[in-house]
Structure 1
Amino acid sequence: MSRVAVIITDLFEDSEYTEPVKAFQEAGHAVVCVGLKEGQTVKGKKAGTPATVDKAVTDVSVSDFDALLIPGGYSPDKLRVDEHAVGFVRDFVQSGKPVFSICHAPQILITADVIRGRKLTGWKSIIQDIKNAGAEFIDQEVVIDGNLISSRQPGDLPPFIKACLAALSS
């Protein structure tokens, strides 16, 4: 089974973390929360869902994992100011391993400069940011471009999770 990193910090979109993680675990995949400080408890922005950071981003490498989940909310914007988080995301996308991006997750992909020439989707308030970063924005539930699987919002979670699970089983 696969080992999935979830890069996360405070104010993540609760359902964009909890629902994919539950589905991954039910399918037998291991999930590791990667954040800025090992042992830190971060909380979701709406329901205050707690998540414990299992590993600091400075203590992991892409080779430790098979896929990366980037939940939305304010977490990606907060993470994009940390050079180690940005580097980890950049290396992950460049590795060719699956990267699952939902809602505001493209913010850290933009900072990592890895979406130029790619197709993806995200939350409506960052459409212009995605385009300015050189990507083609596509307004649909799930966009798959190579190793990058993206969705727009919590309402897209069922098809997003289905696409992520398919990528993990291939």
Structure 2
Amino acid sequence: MSRIAVLITNMFEDVEYTEPAKAFREAGHDLVHVGLTAGETVHGKRELAEVTIDRAASDVSVDDFDALFIPGGYSPDKLRAHDAPVEFVRKFVTSGKPVLSICHAPQLLINAQVLRGRKITGWKSVAQDIKNAGAEYIDREVVVDGNLVSSRQPDDIPAFIEASLAKLKDAGGGKAKAVAAEQH
């Protein structure tokens, strides 16, 4: 199965992390939490979930993973103020590997300058930012455009999970897991 990088920091939208993460694990995927500082514990904005960061964004490579998952909330806005997460996202999108984005996650994609000519959805407050970045904003529960899977909000989580799992299955996965095993 796939090795998924979860790009996350404080103030993530709890349910936008917990529900997809649970579904990905149940489907046999491995999650690696990537943030600003390895070992740091980050908390959801509703204080319902906490996550320990496994690896710093400055210390990871796209080659280490099969997919990227970016939960929403305030986390993407906080992360986009730092070069390493933005560069990691840029390289991930251009690699063609699946990028799973929900709610405010497009803020990172905007800063990474990878949305021109793409179709995507996200939280309504970032719709104009998405358009300004050269993408077509589509107000739908899930939008799949090439390697990008995106959803708008917590109500869209079931559709987001279904589309994400389908994209992970289509992508094949497993290559990064073999690379990681060789490194240990």
Asked if TM exceeds 0.5, the reply is yes
Larger RCO of the pair (alpha carbons < 8 Å, separation 6+): 2
Work out the CA distance in 2 between the residues paired with 1:23 and 1:32: 15
Partner of 2:97 in structure 1? Answer: 97
Give the partner amino acid of 2:28. Answer: G
User: Which letter maps to 2:120?
Assistant: L
SS in 1 for 2:9: coil
Structure 2: any 5+ residue segments left out of the alignment?
A: 171-184
* TM-score scaled by length of structure 1: 0.99
Structure 1: gaps of 5 or more residues: none
Partner of 1:71: 71
- Tell me the equivalent position of 2:41: 41
Secondary structure of 2:157 counterpart: helix
Aligned position for 1:110: 110
Cα distance in 2 between the residues matched to 1:20 and 1:72: 12
Matched, 1:23 2:19: no
* SS of alignment partner, residue 116 of structure 2: coil
**CA deviation profile, 1:80-129 (whole Å, cap 9, x unmatched):** 01100000000000000000000000001000000011000000111110
Distance (Å, rounded) in 2 between the aligned partners of 1:109 and 1:103: 12
Which amino acid counterpart does residue 4 of structure 2 have in structure 1? V
- 1:40 is aligned with what amino acid? E
Percent identical across equivalent pairs? 68
Distance 1:168 1:147 in 2: 10
> Structure 1 segments of 4 or more deviating over 2 A?
none
Answer yes or no: is 1:130 the counterpart of 2:124.
no
Summarize deviations over 1:21-70 as a string: whole Å, max 9, x none.
10010011100000000000000001341100011111110000000000
Find out whether 1:144 has 2:144 as its counterpart.
yes
Partner AA of 1:91 in structure 2? K
